[in-house]
Structure 1
Amino acid sequence: MSQTNTPQRYRIGERDTNDRYPVDVDGAPAGHIYRWHKVWRTVVPGQEETRHPSAESAAEEVTKLVDAGALTDPSASGPAEASQTPDHALLLDLRLQPTAGNIRSAAIAHARIAELAWQPLAGYPGADNHWRMRCLICPPRWEGDRYWSHLRGRNNDRIPRPRYRHEGCIPVPEHAGKLALLVKPAPSCFCPAAHPTTADAAAVLLKSVARARRVRDTEALTGHLTRLLGPCPAATARAAAIEAALEAAKS
């Protein structure tokens, strides 16, 4: 018996600035898919997100939801308005809960990319997800996605990869001299925000974050995370202070 191939009804579009891929079904907008910690997920208004092993299987799920009548307002499948996004999304990706462990990882990452003269354009997303950044050592300032897992190096060697940073950057032999001019880590913070650089100060703020999360105080949470993760010349000392605070809490 001969078999006929079923035509593919979905089309996966180009990745947008929210790191999501729009999915059209039968030529009409139907939802989005995105990859998060090596798993693909569907985003369809009014439905719970589902997890899938590939982009194709995630898009197939969008098609099934359309056939089941789940999509009642196609216009709602777009990304949320920027005005609805909490300010701390620029420090810690909203898909990561502001737990002590995630804050520690984010603080270490923010400190190290500052040492490498990268400016984050989005919140820390974890080690193996796209992180939007701007290169600060070359004109014009390149913007694109990098993985923290690549920038931190392998096996604690602290050698970022790729060594050439990005297409069109200044030559690799010039990187060290440029970084020495641009990056001057400070041992203490003199910012108006008073970022913590001691274990005791970091511990107080971490407890304040937990309290703000518990009572759902978004404004206070943003303020605390800004002190723990916001730009600061002493970001490296701050990351060490957060680590020390968490180690002390274990004892």
Structure 2
Amino acid sequence: MTTTDATAAAERYEIGDRAANGRYPVAVDGKPTGHIYRWHGGWYAVVPGQPEETRHDDRHAAAAHLVDLVDSGAVEPGAAPAEPPAAEAGIVPWLSPKLKPTRRNIISAAIAFGRLAELAWKPEDEDGNPTGYPGSDNPWDLTCELDGKTVVRWWSHMRGRNGDNTPRPEYRHEGCIPFEEQAGKVAALVGEPVTACPCQQHTHPTTADVADDLLKQAERARRADDAEALRQLLTQLLGPCPASSARGQAMKELKERAQRTKS
């Protein structure tokens, strides 16, 4: 599409507000046509009823693609539902269904959950439903425990970089309590870290060796396509726990072990 074509297309599409499942409805010529969403740095255009999803460099290119589909006759504007489709369900609610429950993804998710607990964030949407870890560079609905607001964040911005654990950005979100008050409020909310899992129904690992054993079991269950066994193991590895920070540290130790082995 040329610059002129792109400009003309931009006058015909309208991108709506982000829905809870991360998708943005797009109207072409004032009629609902499809949806776009961001995933791992790319933007995808989706037309209801069509299995193909096309990847684009930015949101405007993805929306312009829907204009092309309308002009080619491949899509009839107005045929798409006004609301985005319901979010796909994963094997457990703590891992995005777009992420396979591999050892690497489970470790990354557990580390993220542990750090969120330390920073007084909850991986929940505005209705209190758990939001699964989506990967480090994808939007994630999180609820701020300082004021209860649900906002979109990227884990890559929050985890710190190059060994520096300072969460980024320094502010939490627009309208949160003043920055200079945040550290004290977070410390009061989080309290002393819990080092052992107190849960009755499921025991969550808080040491690297126990976590490693569960991860190996989870990998065997995944390869055997044993969904029920995998679900139980993922609940132990990722489910809510007062000791999620200790579990995250155990997972971080496993990650560091693997890095030392490679070096």
Using the size of structure 2 for normalisation, the TM-score is 0.80
Is 1:135 the counterpart of 2:139? The answer is no
Task: Call closer, same or farther: CA 1:71–1:209 in 2, change over 3 Å.
Answer: farther
Written as runs of structure 1 = structure 2, the 5 A alignment for 1:5-16 is: 6=8, 8-16=11-19
**How many aligned residue pairs are there?**
245
Is this contact kept in 1: 2:115–2:248, CA < 8 A? no
Measured after TM superposition, the shift of residue 6 of structure 1 is: 4.8
Query: Could you tell me which residue of structure 2 aligns to residue 241 of structure 1?
Result: 250
Query: Could you tell me which residue of structure 1 aligns to residue 194 of structure 2?
Result: 186
User: Which residue, 141, 152, 159 being the options, matches 1:145?
Assistant: 152
- Inter-partner Cα distance in structure 2 for 1:221 and 1:74: 39
Query: Could you tell me which residue of structure 2 aligns to residue 161 of structure 1?
Result: 168
Query: Could you tell me which residue of structure 2 aligns to residue 200 of structure 1?
Result: 209
User: Which residue, 63, 67, 79 being the options, matches 2:67?
Assistant: 63
What's the secondary structure of 1:200's corresponding residue? Answer: helix
Measured after TM superposition, the shift of residue 14 of structure 1 is: 1.8
**AA in 1 matched with 2:174:** E
Larger CA deviation: 112-121 vs 38-47: 38-47
Task: Call closer, same or farther: CA 1:24–1:189 in 2, change over 3 Å.
Answer: same
Q: Deviations over 1:92-129 (max 9, x none)?
A: 11222111111111111111010000001111112222
Query: Could you tell me which residue of structure 2 aligns to residue 81 of structure 1?
Result: 86
Using the size of structure 1 for normalisation, the TM-score is 0.83
- Inter-partner Cα distance in structure 1 for 2:8 and 2:38: 26
Q: Deviations over 1:39-93 (max 9, x none)?
A: 11111232321111122221222233344554489346854436x62362x3111
**AA in 2 matched with 1:185:** P
Query: Could you tell me which residue of structure 2 aligns to residue 42 of structure 1?
Result: 45
User: Which residue, 99, 104, 107 being the options, matches 1:104?
Assistant: 107
Q: Percent identity?
A: 51
Query: Could you tell me which residue of structure 2 aligns to residue 118 of structure 1?
Result: 121
Task: Mark the runs of 5 or more structure 1 residues left unpaired by the alignment.
Answer: none
Larger CA deviation: 99-108 vs 172-181: 172-181
What value does the CA root-mean-square deviation take over the aligned residues?
Answer: 2.9
**AA in 2 matched with 1:106:** A
